Amino acid sequence: MMDDFLSILIKHGGRSNPLGKYIDFQMEGIIYESSSLYSGLISANTSQLKIDININDVEIKYIVVIDVHLIL
């Protein structure tokens, strides 16, 4: 079922402006199985962005947005 998956948009390669807003970024998306562990989320992100976790540290910052138009 698609209800068991989350769509995640990844903003990367940008910078913060003087007001703290993230700008000049690229955006990619992944579909993530909601029952997966956190390590699975790290793996999905690093795979999508082609990041070698053996030589790079990964930090995930997130904001949850609920689209009220999709709620029945």
| pLDDT, tens digit (0-9, with 9 covering 90-100), for 51-61 | 898 998 888 87
Look at the chain and report how many structural domains it folds into.
Answer: 1
Model confidence over 5-53: pLDDT tens digits?
Answer: 888 888 889 999 999 899 999 999 888 888 888 888 888 889 988 989 8
Structural domain of 60 = 1-72
Cα gap 14→25, rounded to integer Å: 4
**CA neighbours closer than 13 Å in the CB half-sphere of residue 40:** 10
- In the chain the beta strands, taken as DSSP E runs, fall at 5-12, 15-16, 22-23, 26-33
Instruction: State how far the alpha carbon of 24 is from the alpha carbons of 11, 21, 32, in Å.
Output: 10, 10, 25
